[in-house]
Homo-oligomer: A and B are copies of this chain.
Amino acid sequence: MKTLSDNAISDDITINRNIKCYGSSEVLSELKGKDTLFLCVMATTKTSNIPGITGAGATPELTEYTPAADLELVICGEPKCLPEIPQTVIDGAAAPTPAVITKASLELADIPILVVDAGAGIKPDIPYIKLGNGPGEDVRTGNAVPNAREIFEKGVLLGKTLSKLTDHLVIGESTPAGTTTALGVLTALGYNAKQKVSGSMPENPHDLKYGAVREGLKAAGYGEGETVEDALRAVEIVGDPTIPAVAGIVMGSSIPIVLAGGTQMTAVCSVIKGINPEFDFSNLCIATTIFVAEDETADINQLTRQVADINIFAVDPEFEKSSVPGLKSYLDGSVKEGVGAGGAMMAALLKDIPMDNIRLKIEDLCDKIF
């Protein structure tokens, strides 16, 4: 499969040699030196309990704790809701949660973070902005996010307020099984997303994900190839609570936005376009990690281009230089992204924090925490 790197349009080392640009790098010059607010939108969905669908938790049941534990780790330095730190375990080897990447980046660059709850099953023991309620349902029910419209509308209100508080927003997410729900929304809206969403494991269970999505669409009365006209209806059927929350925040805001995530953020863009086909995406970009961009089991570039001409940036933390084994497993396709890790690193780089310092801080956190 062609990967994002093959499509690199510019590799603009004048900005930063650790940021690969797919599209125009102009926006980065505009964001440099500006005030930044990092948001992390969290949710869980019963979809993550499907065995084998996600690596974001030691067991399917524990995935419900992952967003809360991750954000407690970022804010407090330790998870409070779980005795164990979230790790992605593949073949017995544990990769540290991307929350350490986010924490290291935001702390070094002194970037404030606000947590937004779109619908996490387990709530973190920290202050957070409440937009939703409980977790999303299993997409196979065809009734995944009954309150999608309400979450979206509150997101719009929040975006309006936050636009008055900072120069630009970086929005990350923590949503186990979020690539499955992204596949769901993209498929429902008629995009060719099959085998194109990324995942948290080296082996991407595309058939399992697509099977779950098809089952949900069928349960809601949509046959193969039939599309859902209303974007928020698509979320209601086969999405997750994070998607309408981020879409609402983006549509309510009036400042530049970096969507910090992988193919899940493509699904957010598809919903925005569905709600407003004339939406101006020039003030928005996607920032992710090189691990998503070079994921041979997915294609964020091709997927995003179907939605709109959106600039994508991929940040390379050069984990091959690290001596921490858990970080090396990112190079083998574990974890890849999450908690806005790629966007958080980009925000720190734009504040002139060298990547070597970010990586050292990540290693330091790994030593302390794991």
Chain B residues, CB < 8 A from A131:
127
Chain B residues, CB < 8 A from A128:
129-130
Known: A37-B165, A165-B166. A126 touches B154 (CB 8 A): yes
Considering only residues 103-153 of chain A, those with a C-beta below 8 Å from chain B are 110-114, 117, 126-131
Is A75 part of the contact surface with B, judged by Cβ < 8 Å? Answer: yes
Chain B residues, CB < 8 A from A298:
none
CB-based contact A164/B112 at 8 Å = yes
Q: Report A134 CB to chain B, min CB distance, Å.
A: 14
CB-based contact B127/A154 at 8 Å = yes
CA distance A161 to B131 in the complex (A): 19
CA distance A3 to B246 in the complex (A): 51
The interface size bin for chain A is 20 to 34
Is A157 part of the contact surface with B, judged by Cβ < 8 Å? Answer: yes
Is A158 part of the contact surface with B, judged by Cβ < 8 Å? Answer: yes
CA distance A76 to B110 in the complex (A): 33
CB-based contact B154/A112 at 8 Å = no
Considering only residues 72-122 of chain A, those with a C-beta below 8 Å from chain B are 75-76, 110-114, 117
CA distance A158 to B117 in the complex (A): 15
Nearest neighbor of A130 in chain B, beta-carbon distance: B130
Set B75, B111, B161: member contacting A114, Cβ < 8 A: B161
CA distance A200 to B238 in the complex (A): 50
CA distance A157 to B112 in the complex (A): 11
Nearest neighbor of A249 in chain B, beta-carbon distance: B127
Chain B residues, CB < 8 A from A113:
161
Set B110, B126, B127, B161: member contacting A112, Cβ < 8 A: B161
Known: A129-B129, A131-B127, A166-B165. A157 touches B75 (CB 8 A): yes
Chain B residues, CB < 8 A from A130:
117, 127-130
Chain B residues, CB < 8 A from A158:
127
CA distance A76 to B111 in the complex (A): 30
CB-based contact A157/B127 at 8 Å = yes
Nearest neighbor of A76 in chain B, beta-carbon distance: B157
Considering only residues 218-273 of chain A, those with a C-beta below 8 Å from chain B are none
Q: Report A105 CB to chain B, min CB distance, Å.
A: 15
Known: A161-B114, A165-B165. A127 touches B129 (CB 8 A): yes
Chain B residues, CB < 8 A from A157:
75-76, 126-127
Chain B residues, CB < 8 A from A164:
110-112
Nearest neighbor of A158 in chain B, beta-carbon distance: B127
Chain B residues, CB < 8 A from A37:
165
Q: Report A246 CB to chain B, min CB distance, Å.
A: 13
Supplied contacts A112-B165, A127-B154, A130-B130, 15 more A-B pairs, CB within 8 Å: A37-B165, A76-B157, A110-B164, A111-B164, A112-B161, A113-B161, A114-B161, A117-B130, A127-B130, A127-B131, A127-B157, A127-B158, A127-B161, A128-B129, A128-B130
The 7 A-B residue pairs with the shortest CB-CB distance, nearest first, are A112-B164, A127-B158, A127-B154, A165-B165, A130-B130, A112-B161, A129-B129
A contacts, CB < 8 Å to B: 37, 75-76, 110-114, 117, 126-131, 154-155, 157-158, 161-162, 164-166
